[in-house]
Amino acid sequence: MRFVLIGQPNCGKSTLFNQVAGYKAETGNFAGTTVTYTGSKVRVLGEVFELIDLPGTYTLSGSNPAERETLKYLFSHSADVIINVVDASHLSQGLGLTLELLELQIPVVVALNMMDEATRMGMVIDGPELENRLGTRVVPLVASRGRGVRNLFITALELGRSGRLPVRPMYGKDIEDAIQAVISKLDGQIANFHPEPLAVKLLERNEHLISLEQGRNPEILPFITSINKKIIRDRGQDASWVLSSERHGLAANLARRVVQQGERHVSWRDRLDDILLNPFWGYVALIVILFTFFQIIYSLGSSLEEPLLRFFDLLNVYLSRILSDYPFLAELVTGTLQGVAGGVAIVLPYLLPFLLGLGFLEDVGYLPRVAFLMDALMHRMGLHGKAIVPFILGYGCNVPAVMSTRMLEERRDRYLASALATLVPCAARLAVVFGLVAFYLGPVVALWIYLFNLFVIAVTGRIISALLPEDTPGLILEMPVYRVPTIKTVFQKAWFRAREFVVEAWPILIIGSIILSILNYYNLARMINLLVLPITWFLGLPYEVGVPLIFGILRKELSLIMLRQALNVTNFSQGLTAIQMITFTVFVVFYIPCLATLAMLKRELGKRDMLTIAGLTVLIAMIAATLARGIAWFIY
């Protein structure tokens, strides 16, 4: 038997799924965390069932990727029971989708989730009355604490066995007549869609279904168009509008009848936004929160990274000594170790604390507030508020930054945000800026490099967005209520995301590192330097800088470590002039993101976009470094 979880974004579907399936779906206090579906086997009362978690969807109209995915799934797979998760604290909104699901001729059980939240808001919900009016089973649920989960699946099982179909809502007479007229033109069902729901979706002009029906029944489109014309004439709006507005009204009416709004307990959560979204204090709080966030990660990370890298260095020295008779093998081992160490030095010290902190901010519900505060600024770069998240993350590590662009709806926004986020100097590039510029030329120069970076990102954003005009008018964002996250979900989520890095990016890091060690063995440093010569010559950098730049693609801080080797100096001021230091640092800050980030870009956007972004960063790095060189020439 197959159960399918359907609900609106941020209603707790994935939380429920994870409660019974172990951690497989990504959750967050942010609308639209799941975009594809996830399946798992669950055991209820000794029987094994399939449980499918579909992406959050407000309706089944198919106007965005998540909705299309949901409708396509229901269309092409048979579902024995739909478990409709509804946020009890926003009943009227959630019931709109419920009414649409009741039309599908599939048994539906309504899970009223977040009952604790509803109670906190002073709502008393008459469950039996709702059951009566919907004509289907309704079960209370607090998925985050696992309350009511067992009862829900027992109910779903009963429904699946009895196969009791719900009764769909009745619409105005003209619409009902139209539905019947379409049914009479249909030749039975298509795939898993019964004639009645099919007729409703055709009337709503669902493109996917219309093109399918056209294939076997070419007259259907003109017929629906003529019916629609009549509806538009009588009602002033087309059928899809009338249907959704009637569902909207029915849902509001239902909610009014079953919800008793009592005294609302005003708590700290209601007061919090008065500060956190305040036109002045909101920004102060934002800076303090982000500063603390990075401070914690940075101090945790650096205190872990040092001993870890020392350990790997010792191991490397030890192994090299053992293998000193086999120089090729020694070189290979060094390369492998460097790749492994790279992963360990990024994941454990920085990425994990980072993901934990991010998961916490996300589950609390703070990220949408950041999006709200930063919307106006982001518009100047052709993006909207939600795109601030990848930028913030970028200062820690570009890998999670690129991952987080998933929350943006439009592909164009995801591309632009990813491209810009890879220009943000991550913690590894911070090491270069601090180790070279701040150390030899003073912290003020380092600060200027950061400001210059922001300027370049803003200009790049403007240029790209002029080339890729915005097709969305702007931000539509649900502001979730603040929630106290559970430690379990925060840890599970961090692990879930870290695993993506381990599986996707780390192997590439190790392979790249081995290849470079082979090049090193065959003494190809000269060739590499020659290869990079056009760039180093153009920027007026020493010829030997080529190798550090290539190694920097592996891990950005390697470019600094290798620079010492390549120039054969212990004090950089002996090998580089102040102008060269600035030029080199600016170039390192912008050019090709590290391999791990490239792997993530490929995963999120595909190979072509990954390559264009990589090429773009080299171009930007050349321009920015030339510009910086000119400015530095004036000063020094």
Partner 1 sequence: MNLLRVDSGKWIRVISISGGGGLDIKLRNIGFMPGDYARVIRQAPFGGPVLLEISGRELALGQGIARKIEVEECTPPCDLC
> Using CB under 8 A as the criterion, what x/- string covers residues 163-202 for binding partner 1?
----------------------------------------
CA 197 to chain centre: 33
* Torsion angle (degrees, nearest 10) of CA 411, 413, 416, 421: -110
> Using CB under 8 A as the criterion, what x/- string covers residues 70-89 for binding partner 1?
-------------------x
- The reply on whether position 454 binds partner 1 by CB under 8 A is no
**Number of shown-chain residues binding partner 1 (CB under 8 A):** 41
Helices (H), 259-280: 268-276
54: helix, strand or coil: coil
Q: How far is the CB of 557 from partner 1 (least distance, A)?
A: 36
Give the span between the Cα atoms of 452 and 450, in whole angstroms: 5
Q: Which residue of 165, 221, 344, 477 would you call a contact of partner 1, by CB under 8 A?
A: 477
Q: How far is the CB of 239 from partner 1 (least distance, A)?
A: 13
- The reply on whether position 448 binds partner 1 by CB under 8 A is no
User: Of 33-62, which residues contact partner 1 (CB under 8 A)?
Assistant: 58-59, 61
For residue 551, the one-letter residue type is F
Give the span between the Cα atoms of 67 and 63, in whole angstroms: 6
- Report the candidate in 628, 282, 227 with the shortest Cα–Cα distance to residue 441: 628
- The reply on whether position 478 binds partner 1 by CB under 8 A is yes
User: Of 480-519, which residues contact partner 1 (CB under 8 A)?
Assistant: 481
Q: How far is the CB of 569 from partner 1 (least distance, A)?
A: 48
The count of other CB atoms within 10 Å of the CB of residue 295 is 10
Give the span between the Cα atoms of 294 and 150, in whole angstroms: 41
Q: How far is the CB of 93 from partner 1 (least distance, A)?
A: 5
CB of 322 or CB of 479, closer to partner 1: 479
- The reply on whether position 284 binds partner 1 by CB under 8 A is no
CB of 260 or CB of 302, closer to partner 1: 260
For residue 587, the one-letter residue type is F
Give the span between the Cα atoms of 202 and 185, in whole angstroms: 11
Q: Which residue of 197, 368, 400, 425 would you call a contact of partner 1, by CB under 8 A?
A: 368
Give the span between the Cα atoms of 340 and 508, in whole angstroms: 10
Q: Which residue of 40, 63, 577, 612 would you call a contact of partner 1, by CB under 8 A?
A: 63
Q: Which residue of 24, 77, 185, 379 would you call a contact of partner 1, by CB under 8 A?
A: 379
CB of 121 or CB of 431, closer to partner 1: 121
Give CB contacts under 8 A, 24+ apart, made by 271-274.
272/482, 273/369
CA angle centred on 266, ends 264 and 268, rounded to 5°: 150
Q: In which residue are the tokens 């919307």 written?
A: 375
Q: Which residue of 23, 73, 354, 372 would you call a contact of partner 1, by CB under 8 A?
A: 372
CB of 288 or CB of 479, closer to partner 1: 479
> Using CB under 8 A as the criterion, what x/- string covers residues 103-122 for binding partner 1?
------------------x-
- The reply on whether position 520 binds partner 1 by CB under 8 A is no
- The reply on whether position 252 binds partner 1 by CB under 8 A is yes
CA angle centred on 151, ends 146 and 154, rounded to 5°: 130
For residue 260, the one-letter residue type is Q
The answer to whether residues 421 and 398 touch, using CB atoms and an 8 Å cutoff, is: yes
Q: Which residue of 333, 371, 581, 610 would you call a contact of partner 1, by CB under 8 A?
A: 371
CB of 252 or CB of 578, closer to partner 1: 252
The answer to whether residues 48 and 40 touch, using CB atoms and an 8 Å cutoff, is: no
Q: Which residue of 287, 467, 471, 523 would you call a contact of partner 1, by CB under 8 A?
A: 471
User: Of 575-614, which residues contact partner 1 (CB under 8 A)?
Assistant: none
Q: Which residue of 134, 179, 250, 373 would you call a contact of partner 1, by CB under 8 A?
A: 373
CB of 112 or CB of 600, closer to partner 1: 112
- Report the candidate in 359, 343, 370, 352 with the shortest Cα–Cα distance to residue 297: 352
Beta bridge partners of 269: none
CB of 96 or CB of 485, closer to partner 1: 96
CB of 286 or CB of 579, closer to partner 1: 286
The answer to whether residues 338 and 562 touch, using CB atoms and an 8 Å cutoff, is: no
Q: How far is the CB of 266 from partner 1 (least distance, A)?
A: 14
Beta bridge partners of 385: none
Beta bridge partners of 110: 84, 138
Q: How far is the CB of 415 from partner 1 (least distance, A)?
A: 19
CA 135 to chain centre: 37
Give the span between the Cα atoms of 280 and 374, in whole angstroms: 13
CB of 229 or CB of 256, closer to partner 1: 256
Q: How far is the CB of 397 from partner 1 (least distance, A)?
A: 28
Q: Which residue of 232, 289, 309, 475 would you call a contact of partner 1, by CB under 8 A?
A: 475
The count of other CB atoms within 10 Å of the CB of residue 241 is 14
Q: Near partner 1 by CB under 8 A, which window of 367-375, 439-447, 498-506, 525-533? A: 367-375
Q: Which residue of 34, 70, 93, 404 would you call a contact of partner 1, by CB under 8 A?
A: 93
List phi, psi (to 5°) of 5: -90, 120
- The reply on whether position 307 binds partner 1 by CB under 8 A is no
326: helix, strand or coil: coil
Consecutive H or E run containing 52: strand 47-53
- The reply on whether position 472 binds partner 1 by CB under 8 A is yes
- The reply on whether position 385 binds partner 1 by CB under 8 A is yes
Q: Which residue of 279, 568, 608, 634 would you call a contact of partner 1, by CB under 8 A?
A: 279
- The reply on whether position 548 binds partner 1 by CB under 8 A is no
What is the largest distance, in Å, between two alpha-carbon atoms of the chain? 91
Q: How far is the CB of 228 from partner 1 (least distance, A)?
A: 15
CB of 383 or CB of 554, closer to partner 1: 383
Burial class (CB in 10 A: 0-12, 13-18, 19+), 172: middle
- The reply on whether position 241 binds partner 1 by CB under 8 A is yes
Tokens encoding 98 = 């419920």
Question: Crossing angle for the helix pair 195-203 and 239-258, nearest 10 degrees?
Answer: 110
CA 584 to chain centre: 33
Q: How far is the CB of 357 from partner 1 (least distance, A)?
A: 24
341: left (phi over 0), alpha (psi -120 to 50) or beta: alpha
Q: Which residue of 154, 170, 191, 376 would you call a contact of partner 1, by CB under 8 A?
A: 376
Q: Which residues of this chain interact with partner 1, rule CB under 8 A? A: 58-59, 61, 63-64, 67, 89-90, 92-93, 96, 121, 241, 244-245, 248, 252, 255-256, 277, 279, 368, 371-373, 375-377, 379, 384-385, 471-479, 481
